[in-house]
Chains A and B, each alone.
Chain A
């Protein structure tokens, strides 16, 4: 029985029925873009990954494997595209019940974990204080010996195994194995999980994480529950939320309560900027237990706002209240919120416990880790085993986990990567990456999500599950219970239908059935609860929040996640102290001024960012950065957990909001590393919006990106008289009385006028390929895209998908600029000069709230090449490096580009990116793909050389692949047969791609929406990207009846 993973029939991106030989024939003839970039490896033996290829693989043709993402606890299904033995791209599994084909930024970046250049190459042993490489036999022998010693000395009962939290069979397998050695059950640790909420949900609903049915709710109140950032099962929640918001007649209004406007908060229609720790007052007010005036007193929010809020909540026909933990009273707030849902009958309607996510069961509370640290400190732990988790970093430093580890005689780490915990270990037995090993999960009841290797291991690692079996075989007491050769055999033994059943299920990646793992909660340990926030402990509340991408620090060594700007603050490679602009002004702090944030646990000096989404008395710092031992990219930034005093909520979770801090000007300055130019769109109509009342009434609406929430709300329902427009609303405005976009000039087809040379001559009869009747039929098509701003949450999953698909280099590491520009050093130095290369960026504009008030609206605008029909970039290129393809694309020919950069100057959308350095040249410090990150490079896409311009291509390699496949199968392209990387990954389904000249494609229908507009339409660029206006949901009291 081979260990060969089962290939799934290509799904999603590659539908059934590809005849590979035909495909290859076409590929060889028709596609010039199959540069074998991955072949630039220095190792000669890697030149041709397969000398004798396995049966299933054809060189140059992708194989797709369905497996399970393990980047967070939700266990989404992914399809891994593997080319010539290397996994190059992850897509969501469309059949998977959790993510339904979408994939978030962290999931996309799993590849950079797989190919991380800092991964352990093989097992290591600490000798004379130094970690040294050893062979697996020796390492395994040492491990078995230590296990035996621990047991023989009677210490087995005190040995501890800490595992990265995951659902599926492995936790049970692990506990059985541990029991075989007389060891207690393992601690399943997820630093990013919200323990207070999980505990409250269990208490109220009986499940750890219910499904949130946004579609059934008309009012969603999120009390610090960042369901779009990192709170719970992010992708399915985002899918549900976006779907609910897209159904305009029944869409919910979202009110966000909390001291910091997270990504969820920015997507909310209203923000109640309460003081940290005062959330309980809001919940009690909503429950009618506290008058608005008293709540206003407690929260610092004005009483009329709260009164209106309470009235709206009381009047809402169906509501959902979700609370995020984080405070010292996190459990109580979550319980009170759940009680509110129960009392209003929302459970089972908007909150669906029966459809809950199982990925959060059996999680150990951080309090248990804290207790473990205390036991270790007391010398009570003879053997510590850690897999995946990094408690030395992810727990507040005040817990003292790292220091306590020094008291443990023998520490084993199964980590794939160096991190703060594994650096202290005596023995490192590196695990496979999740994309290299077998496993399973039960993300929702009744569905098993399968995990299979998608390629051979990159390094000399071994799956911990296999290793445990091997270790057990060496132990006379356990050997009998482990007759199987490896973990896969063990899984087959449990799988319904055995090997055949598994083989049948693998191509889809899911199977119905249950793993039968217990879902009971672990008992809550003794908790060191903190008192409410001491007002005298400082001058500002300290809010520590998890970074949406980096989470508890797991993603920090993945350059994509460092480089893609935080969706909220747009900060890259940097940790900042976020403060309200008004507060910063009062303290005389400009962006980038250094402040010292001092708590009882320590102090941190870091630059200030004026972020209007911060409550006035609050300083907010994101986690995830500031590693010391997690690899080359992870060194950027600071770790706020170093100054977080030890405090736990009553569920045993870390209280991230538990203290005030003394914030004082430190003197000095560090430039803010951000991709944001101006946070305001200055009335230019880039991100436009329409009030729901106007939309429903079929009115064009007033808002063109110039006016703020209040204005839109005030004007909703009133027809503007002709010639009287709101001030500053000249741009991109639709005149009242205009038929709503019967004419979208950008989507005209054919595009013969865009031909060049003689074929572009209006009098010419020979239009060549630009003639729609040309036999190639290229000019019959007009590739186009719609971006629905009512769906887009700004999560940047599209950006990460684009990085993965199009070989986009990251440029922000400090050695990528270092000595070359002495005036700009440190992480993000290249970004200080705006040299990021992201082909798609998420622009985040604020509307309103200029006075520092909480009533500002946010417009997220994904901005990529608009593929203009009348492109300003094309005629200015002196060498034809950019020209117009017959199917409407602005094509960029890298080999022809000499680098005048005129095209970028003339691009109104500023979506062209220049290769300032040789990011693709291994010998340079700027090299963006240090071995083996370069294994991820997409062979269908050129790695751009120094001195050439690049930009979004509408994933032209996917277009041509699909066309060639259709041609090989002698059939026309099917509508919506394929899509671009950004559209495929989008967890909001905001991006739709297709042929606008063909009515049967979805994009054509969407472009007819009344909300459709082009950005800078007045420039006559005739863009192929159609934006659909954001829909605003003003408070009912002010909108005149929404």
Chain B
């Protein structure tokens, strides 16, 4: 019998010729029925889930109450300390937008690159993306002085003939975020259609649910032509989303890069933000998927090999952002710009040394441990690292937003910044909001793509003689990960 975790081959055993192919193998998943049974089985609500949902809603309510209080009293209840005019809200906005990037990266770019390890984690990542962008989208409104006027940022015909200022990166933001939300939710939904059909077919208790699933599955009948169209649509959407992964966070980075604030006004911001976004997104995927595979009993779907591969991606993006950090230091020194130099000195050795220390430790130093294959294959360590990545990425935005504003051109206006309970409550509320949606999602829709898993599960026919079919149609034999796996 196959084991749930697959131990490394012993030193004296011959190594597998291609470790990448291991990513697509789910040896413990025997047949389609098992897939349906096990994945659909996760949709039954449990007590723990209700508790979790309650906690999420509780935090959300705290956030809502804090926001109402802030709307009533004015933004002064938050910790703003002019000229630090942007604070926790913008930091958290960028944080959530960044998290929203891993989903599309995994589902679209890795799909186009045929990276097999994405199969079992992409649904989860994609849902995370949609909810993260939903969360992020709140913050630009939340941080407005007059949030009830937010729609003035949207170009709509009006008798005053006033349009938004299209030179303002904040207007670009509106377009970028809305576009991304539209595309990523469409992508999520399209991928869900065959799975919803499975749910529809297996739903025999609630006619209402069956009806809803029927509508949502758009009458999916599993015909060849449907599959053909589905595959083309999915490929098309993947191709369409791919540039968005790069563009959205580039636009978000323009909020900063287009200004003349020392520490913001730099051309590296777009790639740097994109790398950071993917890094943080993968961190969040780990934070979500590791408990999920444990509590939902899906460890034989999201295998150690998958985690290993994703951890390599995290390591790679960590090195990218590390490069970006070092580039910032270098440019600050090399440019000879006194404002920039003074700002970086203050950021690293001055009043914000602690924030920088958290950032560099979490984002540059700790992820280096992922060079160790052993640690990459230790879910507990990955879980810890994912937390430090989340913290580090939040502080990356903190270090970008706050120290820059607090140490600008005018020395007379150098200040400090300390958030208040309102900032923290709204930050907590955003996690409540995100968690609420995600928890609702995982009990309504499958967190692992049933149809895509079935593509890589050996059909019953092959059980006796395990083999796969490569894209060229040639049959090949599966290698056994463990001795006697197929016996």
The residues of A with any CB-CB pair to B shorter than 8 Å are 675-678, 680-684, 686, 728, 730-731, 756, 817, 820-823, 830, 833-835, 841, 843, 845, 861, 863, 872, 875-880, 896-902, 904-910, 913-918, 926, 945-949, 1016, 1019
Contact A949 B145, CB 8 Å, known A879-B153, A910-B408, A915-B74 = yes
| Structural contact, B167 and A901, CB atoms closer than 8 A | no
Contact A914 B145, CB 8 Å, known A677-B410, A906-B261 = yes
Contact of B411 among A833, A845, A900 (CB under 8 A): A845
User: Bound complex: CA of A677 vs CA of B409, how far in Å?
Assistant: 12
- Inter-chain contacts of B342 with A (CB < 8 A): 682
B156-172 interface code vs A (CB 8 A; 1 in, 0 out): 00000011110111110
With both beta carbons as reference points, the residue of chain A lying nearest to B141 in the complex is identified as: A898
- In the complex, whether B294 has a CB less than 8 A from a CB of chain A is no
- In the complex, whether B73 has a CB less than 8 A from a CB of chain A is yes
| Structural contact, B338 and A946, CB atoms closer than 8 A | no
| Structural contact, A877 and B74, CB atoms closer than 8 A | no
B252-275 interface code vs A (CB 8 A; 1 in, 0 out): 000100111100000000000000
Contact of B82 among A686, A876, A913 (CB under 8 A): A913
| Structural contact, B165 and A878, CB atoms closer than 8 A | yes
- Inter-chain contacts of A731 with B (CB < 8 A): 338
| Structural contact, B75 and A909, CB atoms closer than 8 A | no
- Inter-chain contacts of B143 with A (CB < 8 A): 900
| Structural contact, A908 and B260, CB atoms closer than 8 A | yes
What are the 5 A-B residue pairs with the smallest beta carbon separation, nearest first? A899-B145, A947-B145, A916-B76, A677-B414, A678-B411
User: Bound complex: CA of A497 vs CA of B327, how far in Å?
Assistant: 83
- Inter-chain contacts of B414 with A (CB < 8 A): 677-678
| Structural contact, B259 and A906, CB atoms closer than 8 A | yes
| Structural contact, B85 and A878, CB atoms closer than 8 A | no
- Inter-chain contacts of A676 with B (CB < 8 A): 412
- Inter-chain contacts of A876 with B (CB < 8 A): 165, 167-170, 258-259
- Shortest Cβ distance from A683 into chain B, in angstroms? 7
Contact A898 B83, CB 8 Å, known A684-B338, A878-B171 = no
- Shortest Cβ distance from B273 into chain A, in angstroms? 17
* 5 intermolecular pairs with C-beta atoms under 8 Å apart: A823-B418, A879-B152, A879-B165, A880-B164, A900-B145
- In the complex, whether B146 has a CB less than 8 A from a CB of chain A is yes
B83-122 interface code vs A (CB 8 A; 1 in, 0 out): 1011000000000000000000000000000000000000
| Structural contact, B408 and A914, CB atoms closer than 8 A | no
| Structural contact, A834 and B149, CB atoms closer than 8 A | no
- Shortest Cβ distance from A758 into chain B, in angstroms? 11
| Structural contact, A898 and B145, CB atoms closer than 8 A | yes
User: Bound complex: CA of A845 vs CA of B410, how far in Å?
Assistant: 11
- Inter-chain contacts of A821 with B (CB < 8 A): 76-77, 420
- Shortest Cβ distance from B174 into chain A, in angstroms? 8
Contact of A835 among B82, B145, B410 (CB under 8 A): B82
- In the complex, whether B405 has a CB less than 8 A from a CB of chain A is yes
User: Bound complex: CA of A185 vs CA of B149, how far in Å?
Assistant: 67
Q: Total A-B residue pairs with C-beta atoms closer than 8 Å?
A: 183
User: Bound complex: CA of A646 vs CA of B421, how far in Å?
Assistant: 49
User: Bound complex: CA of A843 vs CA of B162, how far in Å?
Assistant: 38
| Structural contact, B415 and A677, CB atoms closer than 8 A | yes
- Shortest Cβ distance from A928 into chain B, in angstroms? 13
- Inter-chain contacts of A680 with B (CB < 8 A): 411
- Inter-chain contacts of A833 with B (CB < 8 A): 79-82
With both beta carbons as reference points, the residue of chain A lying nearest to B410 in the complex is identified as: A910
| Structural contact, B412 and A915, CB atoms closer than 8 A | no
- In the complex, whether B34 has a CB less than 8 A from a CB of chain A is no
The residues of B with any CB-CB pair to A shorter than 8 Å are 73-77, 79-83, 85-86, 140, 143-147, 149-150, 152-153, 162-165, 167-171, 174, 255, 258-261, 336, 338-339, 342, 405, 408-415, 418, 420-421
Given contacts A820-B73, A907-B83, A916-B74, list 7 more A-B pairs with CB under 8 A: A686-B412, A820-B77, A822-B421, A861-B412, A898-B144, A900-B170, A910-B409
- Inter-chain contacts of A905 with B (CB < 8 A): 83, 85-86, 259, 261, 405
Contact of A899 among B146, B167, B168 (CB under 8 A): B146
- Shortest Cβ distance from A919 into chain B, in angstroms? 9
- Shortest Cβ distance from A47 into chain B, in angstroms? 28
Contact A898 B153, CB 8 Å, known A834-B82, A834-B83, A904-B82 = yes
With both beta carbons as reference points, the residue of chain A lying nearest to B405 in the complex is identified as: A905
| Structural contact, B412 and A820, CB atoms closer than 8 A | no
User: Bound complex: CA of A899 vs CA of B405, how far in Å?
Assistant: 17
| Structural contact, B76 and A948, CB atoms closer than 8 A | no
- Inter-chain contacts of B258 with A (CB < 8 A): 876
Most buried by A among B74, B75, B82, B412: B412
| Structural contact, B85 and A877, CB atoms closer than 8 A | no
Contact A875 B165, CB 8 Å, known A905-B86, A905-B405 = yes
| Structural contact, B85 and A901, CB atoms closer than 8 A | yes
| Structural contact, A820 and B76, CB atoms closer than 8 A | yes
- Shortest Cβ distance from B158 into chain A, in angstroms? 12
User: Bound complex: CA of A875 vs CA of B164, how far in Å?
Assistant: 11
Contact of B259 among A677, A681, A756, A872 (CB under 8 A): A872
Contact A901 B81, CB 8 Å, known A863-B412, A878-B170 = no
| Structural contact, B76 and A917, CB atoms closer than 8 A | yes
Contact A830 B82, CB 8 Å, known A876-B169, A876-B259 = no
- Inter-chain contacts of A896 with B (CB < 8 A): 152, 162
Contact of B409 among A835, A845, A908, A948 (CB under 8 A): A908
User: Bound complex: CA of A731 vs CA of B336, how far in Å?
Assistant: 11
- Inter-chain contacts of B260 with A (CB < 8 A): 872, 906, 908, 1019
- Shortest Cβ distance from A570 into chain B, in angstroms? 9
- Shortest Cβ distance from B432 into chain A, in angstroms? 23
| Structural contact, B412 and A845, CB atoms closer than 8 A | yes
| Structural contact, A834 and B415, CB atoms closer than 8 A | yes
- Shortest Cβ distance from A149 into chain B, in angstroms? 56
User: Bound complex: CA of A914 vs CA of B255, how far in Å?
Assistant: 20
Contact A910 B168, CB 8 Å, known A898-B152, A904-B85, A949-B145 = no
User: Bound complex: CA of A947 vs CA of B149, how far in Å?
Assistant: 11
User: Bound complex: CA of A820 vs CA of B171, how far in Å?
Assistant: 32
- Inter-chain contacts of B76 with A (CB < 8 A): 817, 820-821, 830, 835, 916-917, 926
| Structural contact, A900 and B144, CB atoms closer than 8 A | yes
- Shortest Cβ distance from B452 into chain A, in angstroms? 41
User: Bound complex: CA of A728 vs CA of B336, how far in Å?
Assistant: 11
Contact of A916 among B80, B405, B418 (CB under 8 A): B80
